[in-house]
Amino acid sequence: MIRVDEKGFYGKFGGAYIPEMLHPNIEELRENYEQIMATDSFQTEFRSLLKDYVGRPTPLYFASRLSEKYDAKIYLKREDLCHTGAHKVNNTVGQIIMAKRLGKKRIIAETGAGQHGVATATVCALMGMECTVYMGALDIQRQRPNVERMKILGAKVVAATSGSQTLKDATNEAMRQWINNPVDTHYIIGSVVGPHPYPEMVARFQSVISEEIKWQLKEKEGRENPDLVIACVGGGSNAAGAFYHYYNTPEVRLIAAEAAGLGVSSGKSAATTALGTPGILHGSKTLLMQTEDGQVVEPHSISAGLDYPGIGPVHAHLFDTGRGEFVAVEDEDAMKAGIELSRLEGIIPAIETAHALHALNMVEYQKDDVIVINLSGRGDKDLDTYIKWGGY
């Protein structure tokens, strides 16, 4: 069975490895989040906002031309059609309601590709709460449209200038800020990473994705279960959402596409399951890329959202147990897959999602298998990267 235990572990991965000063925050959240989520009033507000504000349910679209090319029945779960352009808003809506009910006045967040930052700034504007988003200086340069969106929404964007100046460093800065402001501040973590209860809480907010896939596929194919579900994984929130209701359905293959960057062995990669070993990263035990003496190895991906040296503990457990199948997709192949979808289906995907699309070339399946690919975000934020890569 794939499930979290009371201490926040999925098998050998998870837990809460945090500074003493953060214990009150984490304990407050751990002791209250399930009780709050279970109330009718929370569920009514959450579901109402998902429907009327986020735009759920998102379509499960049969990609006929993609299906013809790959000789399978390929459905795209259209999270790119969510308000703000990605799945991230499912989680921020849930967490802002949680923060409000815990009496918090101020929100902080980290972001890589900028989509979680935009989604956090969006719900803070909706609820009238102060918002500060930490973002790597490199990511600020390559995801400029999302930086401007955050500012227009009223958020303060703070550059992380240490290390590789990407998602890992933004997370470090956000954690430091939370330690210094423990009483009135809630940290909206954007992925299934961090100390317990964040990985499970975020996965539960994102599980609306697989909840919808089940009934949508029943309508379209007369069955709730696809043969394969494919999603990209950095920290892994979109994958956790797409996999959640299939964790304990072994006949459904769970395919996770990581970023191989310039190649798994190139020294410029973010393929955690290929290169990582167990260790502590951002408050939980998981798989991460590190040196023999435990120093984090700087990751690389052309995709800002996958440029992270670890994966969420639930994904580490899926890999460790063999329940999940992990493939490492190089930059060049991801970019080609993004252009292919654009020209076959008229959908420009986020480069993160493009990694999942290329996985079709890396896994074996049977003719006419039903495959669901989680289209985690749209490519608006990545247009500059597409243009520079393709010379358009």
Residues acting as catalytic residues: 88, 110, 376
Q: How far apart are CA 332 and CA 334, in angstroms?
A: 5
Strand partners, 107: 131, 186
Cβ neighbors of 210 (< 8 A, separation 6 or more) are 229, 241, 242, 243, 244, 245, 246
Q: How far apart are CA 99 and CA 187, in angstroms?
A: 9
DSSP code of 350?
Answer: -
CB distance 366 to 294 below 8 Å: no
CB distance 76 to 373 below 8 Å: yes
Cβ neighbors of 267 (< 8 A, separation 6 or more) are none
CA distances from 188 to 54, 106, 130, 178 (A): 17, 10, 12, 11
CB distance 208 to 47 below 8 Å: no
Cβ neighbors of 99 (< 8 A, separation 6 or more) are 107, 129, 186, 188
DSSP per-residue codes, 31-54: HHHHHHHHSHHHHHHHHHHIIIII
Closest CA to 348 of 373, 374, 371, 380: 380
Beta strand 324-330 pairing with 284-288: unpaired
Strand partners, 73: 370
CA distances from 307 to 71, 156, 188, 289, 335 (A): 32, 22, 19, 12, 15
Closest CA to 116 of 138, 159, 147: 147
The length of the chain in residues reads 392
